[in-house]
């Protein structure tokens, strides 16, 4: 088949959550089909890095944009019913490139990752189309609203309402819609669009993120994530304010590594706290995780699957996580990772792993085994294949029925 794949962030290099899922889909699909990728790059450097996707697809088109211009596109949409975030991901250049591709050749399937770029193909009617929402973005805006002070919270809630309205409208324009987790799929199903839907999980490169024989420091814990991303920032501010002092009172030598690119000045200031190191961008996060007693993921705002949790478990490092972040991982509390609700819960769970090497080893082994059995990319991609076949089969049946009706008349 010839597949046109449209996504909101150019999926190469696959070093962040919004790029990892589409890259693995593209690489998998291109092994059996011809995949054309159309996506956005937000700088000349990103566009240059994007060239590395060439071995994994037939061809690719890049719509290069500037963040200041995209911010203006968001502002223009504020008084309208259209979500402002749709403006952030709209590019006249990419729209023209997509129109050119569709005019130049016949595609057998259009696959869209992320509702924000469904706008480029929403009105195409003669080609089967799948929309992979990944996470239901509207619900993340609602979570932001709960976390922000008034009156800023009103703006986030309005955007959530507009985004949910758009998600329902867009879903009806596709033949099949998917999500990353069962919970996200249940939200999609609750919309009652009448469109076929399914879900397939994120995976992890378990050969790259593998256990290490290097010794770990029983006094060190780590958090990994881009530190220009609000949910990551918010959870570290909260953890350092409410939980870290309690943990250090129990174990005075406790050290926290905050590992991730582009920390804001406020995040960098956390590095002034006793025992806290803010690394900024690092060439490889694995050594930081592998030398830790555990990885923490105390997010208060989270949708879908947190790839950092999958990667930590794959490396054989126990993960201590919030309940909301745990929801996107197919694993069981106490068996494969530790789920916490309060600061006291975190102190007990982390201390348990710092103090008891056997318990750490048990969770490390069980966590990696769970990743291999439930979050391997090859298994997820087999599920994707079945979803695509379902869509194509339904499309063929619709076409056959239409042709039969035409013959009868």
- The reply to whether 253 falls in a domain is yes
Does residue 330 sit in the same domain as residue 187?
A: no
- The reply to whether 189 falls in a domain is yes
Dist CA 104 CA 101 (whole Å) = 5
Segments of the chain with pLDDT less than 70:
396-409
Q: What's the pLDDT at 16? A: 81
Does residue 252 sit in the same domain as residue 341?
A: yes
**What is the tally of structural domains in the chain?**
2
Q: What's the pLDDT at 407? A: 42
- Residues 207, 131, 309, CA angle at the centre, nearest 5°? 30
Q: Are 289 and 224 within 8 A, CB to CB?
A: yes
Can you tell me which residue has the tokens 């200031």? 269
Q: Please list the residues that pair with 134 across neighbouring strands.
A: 179
Mean of all residue pLDDT scores within the chain: 94
Q: What's the pLDDT at 150? A: 87
Q: Are 242 and 310 within 8 A, CB to CB?
A: no
Tokens matching residue 129:
């189309």
253-309: pLDDT as tens digits: 999 999 999 999 999 999 999 999 999 999 999 999 999 999 999 999 998 899 999
Does residue 194 sit in the same domain as residue 327?
A: no
Q: What's the pLDDT at 15? A: 85
Does residue 232 sit in the same domain as residue 85?
A: no
Q: Residue 285: CB partners within 8 Å, gap ≥ 6? A: 224, 259, 311
Peptide bond just before 407 cis, omega within 30 deg = no
How many DSSP H helices and E strands does the chain contain?
17, 13
CA dihedral (106, 111, 117, 118) in degrees, to 10, reads: 80
Q: What's the pLDDT at 406? A: 44
Q: Domain holding 224: CATH number? A: 3.40.50.2000
Does residue 251 sit in the same domain as residue 329?
A: yes
Q: What's the pLDDT at 147? A: 85
- The reply to whether 148 falls in a domain is yes
Dist CA 79 CA 174 (whole Å) = 27
Dist CA 233 CA 227 (whole Å) = 6
Dist CA 96 CA 12 (whole Å) = 22
- The reply to whether 207 falls in a domain is no
Tokens matching residue 373:
């059995």
- The reply to whether 357 falls in a domain is yes
181-219: pLDDT as tens digits: 999 999 999 999 999 999 999 999 999 999 999 999 999
Q: What's the pLDDT at 398? A: 60
Does residue 223 sit in the same domain as residue 78?
A: no
Does residue 177 sit in the same domain as residue 39?
A: yes
Does residue 306 sit in the same domain as residue 157?
A: no
Does residue 106 sit in the same domain as residue 242?
A: no
- The reply to whether 385 falls in a domain is yes
Q: Residue 90 belongs to what domain range? A: 2-200+377-399
- The reply to whether 209 falls in a domain is no
Dist CA 21 CA 307 (whole Å) = 10
As a residue count, the chain comes to 409
Nearest to 18 by CA among 139, 120, 133: 133
- The reply to whether 372 falls in a domain is no
Q: Please list the residues that pair with 34 across neighbouring strands.
A: 2
Does residue 292 sit in the same domain as residue 158?
A: no
Tokens matching residue 306:
């947190």
Does residue 268 sit in the same domain as residue 385?
A: no
Does residue 142 sit in the same domain as residue 240?
A: no
């Amino acid at each position: 088949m010839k597949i046109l794949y449209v996504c909101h962030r150019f999926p190469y290099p696959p070093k962040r959550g919004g790029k990892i899922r589409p890259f693995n889909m593209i690489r998998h699909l291109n092994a059996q089909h011809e995949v054309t990728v159309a996506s956005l790059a937000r700088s000349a450097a990103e566009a240059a890095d994007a060239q590395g996707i060439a071995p994994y697809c037939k061809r690719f088109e890049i719509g290069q944009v500037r963040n200041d211009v995209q911010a203006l596109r968001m502002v223009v949409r504020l008084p309208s019913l259209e979500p402002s975030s749709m403006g952030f991901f709209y590019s006249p250049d990419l729209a023209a490139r997509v129109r050119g591709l569709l005019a130049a050749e016949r595609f057998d399937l259009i696959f869209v990752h992320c509702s924000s770029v469904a706008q480029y193909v929403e009105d195409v009617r003669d080609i089967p189309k799948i929309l992979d929402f990944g996470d239901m973005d509207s619900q993340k805006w609602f979570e932001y609203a709960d976390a922000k002070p008034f009156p800023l919270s009103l703006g986030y809630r309005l955007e959530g309402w507009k985004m949910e309205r758009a998600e329902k409208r867009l879903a009806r324009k596709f033949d099949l819609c998917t999500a990353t987790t069962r919970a996200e799929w249940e939200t999609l199903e609750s919309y009652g669009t009448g469109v076929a839907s399914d879900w397939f999980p994120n995976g992890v490169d378990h050969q790259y993120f593998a256990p290490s024989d290097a010794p770990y420091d029983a006094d060190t814990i780590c958090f990994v994530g881009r530190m220009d991303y609000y949910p990551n920032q918010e959870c570290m501010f909260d953890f350092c304010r409410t939980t870290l002092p309690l943990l250090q009172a129990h174990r005075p030598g406790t050290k926290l590594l905050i590992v991730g690119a582009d920390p804001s000045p406020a995040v960098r200031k956390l590095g002034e706290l006793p025992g806290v190191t803010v690394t900024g961008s690092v060439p490889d996060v694995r050594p930081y995780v592998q030398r830790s007693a555990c990885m923490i993921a105390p997010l208060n705002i989270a949708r879908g699957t947190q790839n950092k949790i999958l990667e930590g478990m794959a490396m054989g490092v126990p993960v201590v996580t919030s309940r909301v972040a745990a929801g996107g991982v197919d694993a069981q509390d106490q068996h494969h990772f530790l789920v916490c609700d309060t600061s006291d819960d975190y102190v007990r769970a982390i201390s348990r792993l710092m103090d008891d090497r056997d318990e750490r080893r048990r969770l490390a082994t069980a966590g990696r085994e769970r990743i291999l059995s439930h979050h391997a990319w090859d298994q997820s991609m087999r599920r994707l294949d079945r979803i695509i076949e379902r869509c194509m089969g339904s499309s063929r049946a619709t076409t056959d029925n239409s042709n039969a009706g035409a013959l009868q008349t």
